[in-house]
Amino acid sequence: MLRHRLTALIAALSAVVLFAAGCTPMLPTDGPVGTSEPDVGGDPAYNIQARSPVEGMSPDDIVLGFINAGVEPSSQYEVAREYMTEEAGAEWISGARTLVYAGDPNVLAMGDDTYSVQMEVESAIDESGIMTQFPEGQTQTEEFRLEEVDGEWRITEAPEGTMVTSGSFATVYEAHTLSFYDPQRLYAVPDIRWFRSNRDGITTEIVSALLDGPAAYLEPAVSSAFSNGTALQRPSVPVEEGVAVVDLDPEHLRGASNQERLLMQHQLELALLDLPGVRAVEITAGQAEYEMPDQSTDALGIEDRPSVGNTQVGVLDDTLVRVQDLQTLSIGSLPDISDLEPQKPALPAEAEEIFAFLDGEGEELYHLRPNRSPDPVLSGEELTRPSMDNFGWTWSASNEDDGAHVHVAAYDETLAQAALEVSADWLVDLEVKSLRIAQDGARAAVVVDDGGESRLYLAGVVRDSSGTPRGLGEPIALQTTTAEPGDVRWLEQDALVIWSTSDDSAVEVERVNLNGSNQSLGSPLLGLQNVSAGEGLRTVFAERVDAPYNSRSGDSWDINEEVEVRDYAFPG
């Protein structure tokens, strides 16, 4: 039983009580990184070179030249500092953040040698590599102050950080995944960060960001193997013959159990082994050997790429059925539920035979087991499709007169509480259209209606020590490109699928990657009613008004006329 697995794994890892701190310290992007060997060898992944200032440049040209020099980080942005006075160049913090902008910046003289630059911003990367995406068309204004030095204009005050065009961004930055853990240490939870592409210092930046802790939206939902305050003892992470050597301060390593040491090793491996030239990770303490358990991190049993089964649940003739490949399979010993007009069924990825569904009015949520009458577990207005997590809980949101509410009902009958409301203050005055819990149980994807506009958010799931959900933390907004978000499903640990239903229009299905790069999934679909996707599965299915079962193959959708099941869904 799922609860027994949970209890056993929690007991096995009970010695690990070190939780991550918030992401507040700055990465050492502006200071020396020590005298060790370069972190990762090889040529830079980009070929863009900044231009130095020339004689006679106007103030406008100096400002634009400085902005354009943000693409070239060599020698601590040496070229960008040439556009500044010596004092300003010494004080400017290049690594504070990076603004990603579209189009041409507009430079305006404001008087007193002050210049305002307005630009359309797409995103911002902070000092820890965390991306914030902005709504399309958002503008931001930055101010500069200049003075003449020996007859040439130079910047005396500039915004901290750099600015790069959206066209250059994909060349000079690349995404890396840090990993933290759900509180029960069953799953690795990805935290996507952005760092300058394949350059000296990348391993140091990644490890420093990992030690600083998770992104703010994840902080209340995850834990880390590294205790608050753990830092690098040697200020760089060199790669020596394929081994990344992470030297930590001994104070925070002293007294760690074998389980804790394995967790630290595991977390560093997840962060670093995808880098070119890194084949292994070694932890040292104060540049001295640090004894590690004589076993693989596989012994922890932590899932870092969970995948649901390929069996879906759907509705056929007012009863629940399974769909596997192109076969429709009956579910034995289920009671007759036709009078409830079942819709929007769900099933968990890890549990015995248990299902959830809504009645035809969308106001009652039921649990359904073989050889038992359906159990009404939740009532509410406009309930969203159930989402069943791997920790024994079924989730749904209701939209009442006083706003949206998030509810959970226990499908694991060994849990102490049968049902409760989950705190989510940020949903006040919003309508929830769809809510889906990731397999790791630490994140919720939520589509809301905000005054007639649909928005997609990602929030951390706050649980108590027993795994009981208590809240949804403050979210981050995810931007969409081709599709208006109306419904959402998890496709991978780091990717979602969104769409909006329509009876008579052709609409897009969009893959929303958590690193900000989105793609349309094939051609628009006419009369789209439902999309079914499961974490870790390659195939996506779509239900249309006149064609119940469509599967995506390559860039096109194929109709499978053998299947008549509707309203189907993968586990989750």
For 57-100, write each residue's pLDDT tens digit. Answer: 999 999 999 999 999 888 889 999 999 999 999 999 999 999 99
β-strands 311-316, 453-463: how paired?
A: unpaired
According to the model, what pLDDT value does residue 35 have? 30
Averaged pLDDT for residues 161-183? 94
Question: Would you say residue 16 has pLDDT above 50?
Answer: no
Give me the amino acid identity at 567: D
Structure tokens belonging to residue 84:
């500044």
Structural domain ending residue among the three candidates 279, 300, 321: 300
Q: Are residues 289 and 316 in the same domain?
A: no
Averaged pLDDT for residues 392-412? 95
Q: Residue 221 phi/psi, 5° resolution?
A: -110, -15
Kindly report the pTM of this predicted structure. Answer: 0.87
What do you get for the CA distance between the two ends of the chain, in Å?
Answer: 17
Q: Are residues 409 and 292 in the same domain?
A: no
Residue 490 inside a domain? The answer is yes
According to the model, what pLDDT value does residue 286 have? 96
What span, in angstroms and rounded, lies between the C-alpha atoms of 425 and 336?
39
Structural domain ending residue among the three candidates 300, 328, 352: 300
Q: Are residues 286 and 398 in the same domain?
A: no
Averaged pLDDT for residues 175-186? 96
Q: Are residues 365 and 218 in the same domain?
A: no
Q: Are residues 324 and 378 in the same domain?
A: yes
> 520-531, pLDDT tens digit by residue?
999 999 999 999
Q: Are residues 317 and 296 in the same domain?
A: no
pLDDT band at 33 (very low <50, low <70, confident <90, very high): very low
Q: Are residues 379 and 448 in the same domain?
A: yes
Which range, of 263-277, 341-355, 402-416, 553-567, averages the lowest pLDDT?
553-567
Structural domain ending residue among the three candidates 244, 274, 300: 300
According to the model, what pLDDT value does residue 39 have? 42
- Domain residue limits at 485: 311-569
According to the model, what pLDDT value does residue 282 have? 97
Residue 550 inside a domain? The answer is yes
Residue 62 inside a domain? The answer is no
> 326-343, pLDDT tens digit by residue?
899 999 999 999 999 999
Which of 74, 290, 100, 112 shows the shortest CA–CA distance to 199? 74
Question: Would you say residue 26 has pLDDT above 90?
Answer: no
What span, in angstroms and rounded, lies between the C-alpha atoms of 57 and 54?
6
Which of 388, 385, 386, 365 shows the shortest CA–CA distance to 375? 365
Q: Are residues 292 and 325 in the same domain?
A: no
Total domains, the chain: 2
Question: Would you say residue 22 has pLDDT above 80?
Answer: no
Q: Are residues 340 and 242 in the same domain?
A: no
What span, in angstroms and rounded, lies between the C-alpha atoms of 204 and 293?
25
pLDDT band at 38 (very low <50, low <70, confident <90, very high): very low
According to the model, what pLDDT value does residue 198 have? 61
pLDDT band at 47 (very low <50, low <70, confident <90, very high): low
Q: Are residues 203 and 337 in the same domain?
A: no
According to the model, what pLDDT value does residue 555 have? 76
Residue 199 inside a domain? The answer is yes
According to the model, what pLDDT value does residue 415 have? 95
pLDDT band at 351 (very low <50, low <70, confident <90, very high): confident
According to the model, what pLDDT value does residue 402 have? 85
According to the model, what pLDDT value does residue 1 have? 38
CB distance 138 to 121 below 8 Å:
yes
What span, in angstroms and rounded, lies between the C-alpha atoms of 572 and 345?
11
CB distance 529 to 548 below 8 Å:
no
Question: Would you say residue 216 has pLDDT above 70?
Answer: yes
What span, in angstroms and rounded, lies between the C-alpha atoms of 27 and 48?
24
Q: Are residues 392 and 358 in the same domain?
A: yes
The 3-state secondary structure of 434-472, one letter per residue: EEEECCCCCEEEEEEEECCEEEEEEEEEEECCCCCEEEE
CB distance 264 to 20 below 8 Å:
no
Residue 173 inside a domain? The answer is no
Question: Would you say residue 4 has pLDDT above 90?
Answer: no
Question: Would you say residue 440 has pLDDT above 80?
Answer: yes
> 142-158, pLDDT tens digit by residue?
999 999 999 999 999 99
Residue 26 inside a domain? The answer is no
Q: What is the CA radius of gyration of the chain?
A: 26
Question: Would you say residue 500 has pLDDT above 60?
Answer: yes
HSE-up of 90 (CA within 13 Å, CB side)? 3
Averaged pLDDT for residues 250-266? 96
Averaged pLDDT for residues 13-29? 31
Q: Are residues 417 and 565 in the same domain?
A: yes
Question: Would you say residue 2 has pLDDT above 50?
Answer: no
Question: Would you say residue 238 has pLDDT above 90?
Answer: yes
User: Which CATH number characterizes residue 533's domain?
Assistant: 2.120.10.30
DSSP annotation of 334 reads: P
According to the model, what pLDDT value does residue 446 have? 98
Residue 496 inside a domain? The answer is yes
Residue 69 inside a domain? The answer is no
